[in-house]
Amino acid sequence: MIEIRRFEVGYCTHPGCIALQGASFKACKFPARAWLLQNNHQRWLFDTGYAQHFYDHTRHGIIRLYRSITPVYFDTKDSLVNQLQREGISPADINGLIISHFHGDHIAGLRDFPQIDYICSGDGWQKTRKLRGFSALKNAFVPGLIPEDFETRVKFYEAFPRCPLPDELQILGEGFAVNTEKTLLIVPLPGHAAGHIGLCVLTEQGWILLAADAAWSPTNYRQLRGPMAIANIIMDDKQAYYETLNKLHEIDKRHVEIQLCHEGELV
Ligand SMILES: [Zn+2]
């Protein structure tokens, strides 16, 4: 069984209706979340939220627009590495850092974990690694957030052992086992960004799906109501996004808990 802990690592603001058609234009808070997953002998992270590196690497060039479009609120003391340190967990205690996708608010803290393995989609990385200038901005990718030795430390989930999913998650196809106990399974959740993945986690309470940015609010999948058209600009594949949203809809009906990275208070 996996024990799961959720951390809020900064937030950004933008009008609620960008995340959900029909919500108000009022600016809403969208937290950036990260997770610690542990059993009795291993620990993993899922995403990092914001970190000081985000400010450092969005100061110059066209990528500056990223932080103007979605103003970021973050205090260095709240970085994931610092929050973990306060719990007595150092980067050396972590076995691997799973990256849901390469948007800046999910990878800003990679440099704070200088020795551990990174785990992500090989397909997503191939499509993202060379993006610079406007195409990087359009994909919310901040190249400076990627550590110089990233490619020597990364493991692509596509090569992990394939494993059938439990009934309630089977609509997602098959899983890719992160651990030998098969209690942590990566699943592709395509659409939002290149190589976007989620994580099925077997906890004491049953399976939980960490769905990253496959939705920005439970209303997205409960009412099959997507974000505003303007959000499609950063979307990798709109059709795939809605297919994934339909799958979350079915999983939710089966009462599997779904946790999202940015679930905010929409009005
Ligand atoms: Zn994203």
Kindly report the average pLDDT of the chain as a whole number. 93
Burial zone of 60 (CB within 10 Å; 0-12 exposed, 13-18 middle, 19+ buried): exposed
CA of 206 to the centre of ligand 1 (A): 26
Domains and CATH numbers, the chain: 3-260 (3.60.15.10)
188 half-sphere exposure, CB direction, 13 A CA radius: 19
Question: Average of pLDDT values for 124-137?
Answer: 96
CA of 235 to the centre of ligand 1 (A): 8
Distance CA 196, CA 188 (A): 6
CA of 168 to the centre of ligand 1 (A): 25
- How many residues make up the chain in this entry? 267
Say if CB 70 and CB 32 are below 8 A apart. no
CA of 65 to the centre of ligand 1 (A): 16
Q: Which residues contact 56 (CB under 8 A, 6 or more apart)?
A: 144
Where is mean pLDDT largest: 5-14, 50-59, 151-160, 258-267?
A: 151-160
User: What pLDDT, on the 0 to 100 scale, is given for residue 192?
Assistant: 95
CA of 212 to the centre of ligand 1 (A): 8
Q: Which residues contact 215 (CB under 8 A, 6 or more apart)?
A: 221, 245, 248, 258, 260
CA of 193 to the centre of ligand 1 (A): 7
Say if CB 91 and CB 147 are below 8 A apart. no
User: What pLDDT, on the 0 to 100 scale, is given for residue 266?
Assistant: 57
User: What pLDDT, on the 0 to 100 scale, is given for residue 111?
Assistant: 98
CA of 9 to the centre of ligand 1 (A): 15
CA of 40 to the centre of ligand 1 (A): 31
CA of 103 to the centre of ligand 1 (A): 5
User: What pLDDT, on the 0 to 100 scale, is given for residue 265?
Assistant: 64
CA of 213 to the centre of ligand 1 (A): 5
What percent of the chain stands above pLDDT 90?
A: 78
**How confident is residue 35, by pLDDT bands cut at 50, 70 and 90?**
very high
